[in-house]
Amino acid sequence: MINFSLKSFLLLSILFSCTTSKKVAQSESTPTPSQKIYQTSGYEKYLLPDIPQWINFSTSAACFRQESIKFLHLKNLQDSFSLNYEQAIQVQYAFNLELSDQGEGSSSPLSLRKEETAFHKANELVEANVKSFIQPEFEKVNLVWIDAYRENAEELKKVLSSEEMDEAPPVLISFCFSHEEMKNFVEAHKLYEFTNRYLSTEILSAFSPSGELEPGLFFHINDFFGVTKKIQFFSMQGLIPVEIRGELEVMNTKN
């Protein structure tokens, strides 16, 4: 009797093990509805491939960028939505801000669904003339390149409090910082006492205002701010970064 019971128990154990293994295998091979591949609306044609970290740098600013930026295919974007250069850059800028907000506090990459949602939201905001960067109202733009002052904020404050800034509030620009890093830099050094306008790496593009592919990442200042505006570019030792394209007046902030 004991032998029969033992044999029955072993047989039942084997059968249960096989059934369970089969169910597990079926569960792993058959995706649930939430695991099915997400079919996008084709927004990928507006994205450029991500830049590898080893080449994600600015020669002019002598820095490796700590954050990855999603760069858009401006020509496809402009052709599809009838946007000018400034609007297209604003979409790219807002898109990256949306991605940053959605991914805050998470180390995992965003899903395609969330990424696409962020793209369409950014595009809709710009179409409604709701922009992440608000253009200065003045006919003169005092553009201050801050990358040389990353380790010397006190010297930067001297530039921002100079007489030249009385005619138009300064606009800070960086080719090292992302928007979030720029925001943290401004808050850490209380630069908001001088300005609340700043531009970061998200404004760069591999496309010209006419949609031509360019050999690098550039920022066309006249097409962005407006061809009628006078641009005063404040730079340590009067240097002009290779990323800048356009007509400007260089203001040497330090000999």
User: Do 146 and 238 belong together in one domain?
Assistant: yes
Taking 80 as the threshold, does the pLDDT of residue 126 lie above it? yes
Give the rounded percent of residues in the chain with a pLDDT score beyond 90. 69
Give the lowest-confidence range in 82-86, 150-154, 220-224: 150-154
Tell which residue, 131, 128, 122, 133, has the closest CA to residue 96.
Answer: 122
User: Which of 127, 153, 177 delimits the end of a domain?
Assistant: 127
User: Do 206 and 112 belong together in one domain?
Assistant: no
User: Do 180 and 212 belong together in one domain?
Assistant: yes
Residue 163 lies in a domain: yes
Give CA–CA dist 190/185, Å, rounded: 8
Taking 80 as the threshold, does the pLDDT of residue 110 lie above it? no
Taking 80 as the threshold, does the pLDDT of residue 104 lie above it? no
Residue 14 lies in a domain: no
Q: Give the full edge-to-edge strand order of the sheet including 249-252.
A: 198-199, 170-173, 140-145, 230-235, 249-252
Taking 70 as the threshold, does the pLDDT of residue 17 lie above it? no
User: Do 164 and 120 belong together in one domain?
Assistant: no
Mean pLDDT, the chain, whole residue set: 85
User: Do 121 and 152 belong together in one domain?
Assistant: no
Give CA–CA dist 145/252, Å, rounded: 11
**φ, ψ at 218 (rounded to 5°):** -135, 165
Give CA–CA dist 150/184, Å, rounded: 12
Asked if residues 230 and 164 have their Cβ atoms less than 8 Å apart, the reply is: no
User: Do 149 and 248 belong together in one domain?
Assistant: yes
Give CA–CA dist 93/99, Å, rounded: 10
**Residue 130's CB: how many other CB atoms inside 10 A?**
12
More confidently predicted of 15 and 80: 80
User: Which residue matches tokens 């979030």?
Assistant: 180
Taking 60 as the threshold, does the pLDDT of residue 109 lie above it? yes
User: Do 76 and 164 belong together in one domain?
Assistant: no
Task: Give the type of residue at 118.
Answer: A
Give CA–CA dist 250/236, Å, rounded: 10
Structural domain of residue 105, as residue ranges? Answer: 43-127
What is the count of structural domains for the chain? 2
Tell which residue, 135, 133, 140, 136, has the closest CA to residue 229.
Answer: 140
User: Do 71 and 121 belong together in one domain?
Assistant: yes
What is the rounded radius of gyration, in angstroms, for the C-alpha atoms of the chain?
26
Mean pLDDT calculated for residue range 35-53 = 80
What DSSP character marks residue 13? H
User: Do 99 and 202 belong together in one domain?
Assistant: no
Residue 38 lies in a domain: no
User: Which of 127, 161, 194 delimits the end of a domain?
Assistant: 127
Give CA–CA dist 115/77, Å, rounded: 16
Most confident residue range from 42-46, 180-184, 250-254:
180-184
The structure's pTM equals 0.82
Taking 70 as the threshold, does the pLDDT of residue 166 lie above it? yes
Residue 6 lies in a domain: no
At 53-96, the pLDDT tens digits run 999 999 999 999 999 899 999 999 999 999 999 999 999 999 99
Asked if residues 70 and 94 have their Cβ atoms less than 8 Å apart, the reply is: no
